[in-house]
Structure 1
Amino acid sequence: MQYRVMTADPLPQLRKLCLALPETTERLSHGEPTWFVRDRKTFVTYAHHHHDDRLGFWCAAPPGVQEELAAEEPARFFRPPYVGHRGWLGVYLDVELEWAEIGEIVEEAYRMVAPKTLLAQLDTAPAPPHE
């Protein structure tokens, strides 16, 4: 997979996906935009603060997903520092993106940390836009 030249900042689209989920808030954490469920539990954090020439995000993931995706597609997925040992998934944003897939990854991250009441609300609401 080829790196792509960043022609548009992916942050607005990532923000849109995260904030479409019930009771999600955004604030800076460690200098980066981070999304929380009920202002307490992190489920996605933008990852550009290491300035390692790679742009991405880190998110909660079901057991085994990080290992599987990072092994199958290392150009798109990785084990992030600090939270990788807890199974979090790193997703590069400097490759060709399929926003529908990114939306699914973001929603799964949300499902990993959201309480049952919010999951029930999510399951009965119309699907968030995955552009």
Structure 2
Amino acid sequence: MSHPIMFDEDDPLLARVRDLALAFPDAAEKISHGIPAFYTTKIFAYYGGSIKVGGVYQRHDQSLLVFPDPEERQALLEEERCYLPAYLGPYGWVGVDLTAGTDWDEIRELLDASYRRTAGARRVARLDKG
């Protein structure tokens, strides 16, 4: 059973996330569970997420899910624009709402941290070489 597509290909926020995510060494994109996923050997970011409220899932379509450093994770979760995404939250992932005045330099830093945690030593070395 395939998942329905849950994003708008013409979404300008997705276009910006895509530009940033695909700039990392060997990064690629695939559709996973109906949303864009950015990966090398492992997924380092998703575009779109959800939370469960009162037994019902609420979509956060224009958000970025990242796998931040554990030290940074708690600070992010204290911010109003960030949330614990359904399914992935218990494993260390954080959702960031991109509709609330996005700082794109910070988004790139979050993608960088998530990439570094998932991409493997050779890819991280390539990233560090520039």
- Shorter chain as denominator, the TM-score bin is 0.7 to 0.9
Say whether 1:11 aligns with 2:18. Answer: no
Closer, same or farther in 2 for the Cα pair 1:48/1:113, shift >3 Å? closer
Identity %: 32
By relative contact order (CA 8 Å, sep 6+), the higher-ranking structure is 1
How many positions carry a matched residue from both structures?
A: 114
Q: 1:9 to 1:31 in 2, by over 3 A?
A: same
1:104 maps to 2:105? no
The structure in which a higher percent of residues are strand is 2
Separation in structure 2 between the aligned mates of residue 29 and residue 52 of structure 1, nearest angstrom? 15
- Aligned to 2:25, which of 19, 22, 28? 22
After superposition, residues 32-47 of structure 1 pair within 5 angstroms as 32-37=35-40, 40-47=41-48
CA distance in 2 between counterparts of 1:89 and 1:118 reads: 23
**Higher deviation after alignment, 60-69 or 91-100:** 60-69
TM-score, normalising length from structure 1? 0.79
Matched residue SS, 1:106: helix
**Where do 1:82-97 residues align within 5 Å?**
82-97=87-102
Q: Displacement, 1:65?
A: 2.3
Pairwise CA RMSD: 1.7
Which 5+ residue runs of structure 2 have no aligned equivalent?
Answer: 1-10, 51-56
1:31 corresponding residue in structure 2: 34
Judging changes above 3 Å, is the alpha-carbon distance between structure 1 residues 22 and 47 closer, same or farther for their aligned structure 2 residues?
same
Alignment deviations for residues 80-101 of structure 1 (CA, whole Å, 9 cap, x no partner) = 1111111111111111011111
